[in-house]
């Protein structure tokens, strides 16, 4: 607990203290930031991790580490560990790193989704077996979703005399696409709220 408090204090002083005030800036503005360069690079690294670009995230954090004060490096390294765990789809490491930073860890559902994403789209360094497994799992999920959509379309069409196979497949595809669109929208809104909360909480 004492180490977590120390990490949190390190995030609130020095170069890292500028992170909240820079959170709303665009990537282009952060790239050209000179006064708070360390904080800007840390934010860029975290954003790259949210895009699951571990190579870019690592590069940005290494630049931040090179320019920060030695006393700030432990907190920045822990922030880097959390971001890379996200980028490389390592839920257990992400939870551990967030807790060590003194921040709330992702929920069990979020960690489960990250674990599933790690299976479907393994990180760049994963072997051929992991990639083939990911493709097979993705195909299976698509088949299951289409079957579910097909079943729902037939169910909805029953009061109107039913639907042909082709029409049911098309309607089912639209149902699945709409559901995924809604989930994506809610996911992005939740991410935006989390970023605002981090910026507000410092």
Dump pLDDT digits (tens) for 11-58: 555 677 888 888 889 999 999 988 889 999 999 999 999 888 889 999
**Residue 27 vs residue 102, higher pLDDT:** 27
Q: How far apart are CA 104 and CA 82, in angstroms?
A: 12
Single pTM value for the model? 0.63
Determine the pLDDT at residue 191: 64
Distances in whole angstroms, Cα of residue 66 to Cα of each of 37, 61, 73, 75, 97? 11, 9, 9, 14, 21
Q: How far apart are CA 152 and CA 146, in angstroms?
A: 10
Instruction: Average the pLDDT over each of 117-131, 146-160, 183-197 and give the range with the smallest value.
Output: 183-197
Say yes or no to pLDDT of 121 above 60: yes
Burial 97-123 (b: 16+ CB within 10 A, else e): bbebbbbebbeeebeeebeeebeebbe
Instruction: Average the pLDDT over each of 25-34, 74-83, 141-150, 191-200 and give the range with the smallest value.
Output: 191-200
Determine the pLDDT at residue 138: 79
**Residue 196 vs residue 56, higher pLDDT:** 56
How much is the mean pLDDT over the chain? 79
Average pLDDT score over residue span 168-176: 82
């Amino acid at each position: 607990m004492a180490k977590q408090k120390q990490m949190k204090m390190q995030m609130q002083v020095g170069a890292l203290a500028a992170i909240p005030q820079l959170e709303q800036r665009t990537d282009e503005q952060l790239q050209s930031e000179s006064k708070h360069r360390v904080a800007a690079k840390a934010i860029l690294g975290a954003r790259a991790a949210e895009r699951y670009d571990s190579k870019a995230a690592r590069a940005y954090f290494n630049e931040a580490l090179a320019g920060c004060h030695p006393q700030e490096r432990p907190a920045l390294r822990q922030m880097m560990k959390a971001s890379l765990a996200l980028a490389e789809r390592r839920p257990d490491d992400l939870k551990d790193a967030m807790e060590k930073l003194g921040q709330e860890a992702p929920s069990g559902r979020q960690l489960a989704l990250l674990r599933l994403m790690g299976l479907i789209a393994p990180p760049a360094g994963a072997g051929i077996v992991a990639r083939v497994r990911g493709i097979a799992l993705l195909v299976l999920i698509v088949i299951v979703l289409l079957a579910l959509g097909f079943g729902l379309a037939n169910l909805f069409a029953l009061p109107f005399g039913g639907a042909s196979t082709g029409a049911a497949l098309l309607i089912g595809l639209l149902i699945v696409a709409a559901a995924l669109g809604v989930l994506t929208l809610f996911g992005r809104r939740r991410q935006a709220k989390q970023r605002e909360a981090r910026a507000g909480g410092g």
